Every structure is written in structure tokens, then in C-alpha cells.
Amino acid sequence: MKVIHHEAAERYEPEPDWRRASLCDEPSISIEHFVKPPRHASPMHEHPQEQVTLILEGRMKVISEDGGEAVLDVGDTAYFAGNERHQIINALDVPSVGVDIFCPRRSFDFWLERKREP
């Protein structure tokens, strides 16, 4: 068994007030807790891993490049297939909180690496 306490988890801010914490980082799965600032939108992006996003607090809008769009409330989830381009937007004027699950694992520094790309 491996236990990761949220307060001790590795963390960073890809953008101001967009906080991410690594709750699990194993070859077959990674789990990231995140806080999105008010009205924040992640860039449209893709990765080879499958992803499930679970909303813990607030409300988020999810968009896929193929035109799919949905609003998620607390307890709702969205599934993204590997390499499916998508975007997640905080739909509120207050922070929203969620968990991202990636299979197999996605590198925790994914957003920092994207910033380094030309």
C-alpha cells in the first residue's frame, strides 16, 4: 500500500491560481487534484492517456474538439478517450475543484512541459 496525504503531495501552478497536486503517480494510473480559478479555461489539448474528470466543488464546462459540450456539477464525470482534444473551463466566478484520473499515467509535469514547447 502507498498512501499520499494531500497536504504532502507534489504540486505546482501551471498558471496563476490553477493549482494541481499529484495524488497517485504509478505506471498504470495517475490521479491529480486540481483547483481552477474563476472562469479559467485550460488550453484545448490532447494526450495519449484516457482521462476521467470528476467534479468535487463548483461547476465546470467540458468541450471536445468534435463539438461535444457539457456542464458538469458536483459528482459528475467526463471521460475523454486517448488523443481526444478537449478543454475544461471553470463555469463560475469562484474557484472550482476536481480530480483528473489518467490511464496509463500522464506525467505530472504535463503542463510545464507544454509551456516549454516552441
pLDDT digits (tens, 9 = 90+) for 36-69: 999 999 999 999 999 999 999 999 999 999 889 9
> Tell me, what CATH number does 103's domain have?
2.60.120.10
| 44 located within any domain | yes
Global pTM?
0.93
- How many structural domains is the chain composed of? 1
Q: Please, which pLDDT band fits residue 116 given cuts at 50, 70 and 90? A: low
Q: Please, which pLDDT band fits residue 4 given cuts at 50, 70 and 90? A: very high
Q: Please, which pLDDT band fits residue 117 given cuts at 50, 70 and 90? A: low
| 49 located within any domain | yes
| 76 located within any domain | yes
Supply the range of the domain harboring residue 95. 6-116
Q: Which pLDDT belongs to residue 94?
A: 98
| 1 located within any domain | no
Enclosing H/E stretch for 115: helix 110-116
| 53 located within any domain | yes
| 50 located within any domain | yes
Distance CA 118, CA 111 (A): 13
3-class secondary-structure state, position 65: coil
State phi, psi for 20 to the nearest 5 degrees.
-130, 140
Stretch among 88-92, 103-107, 110-114 having the lowest mean pLDDT: 110-114
| 97 located within any domain | yes
Instruction: Please give the torsion angle defined by the CA atoms of residues 30, 100, 106 and 18, in that order, rounded to the nearest 10 degrees.
Output: -120
Q: What angle do CA 43, 106, 66 make, to 5 degrees?
A: 45
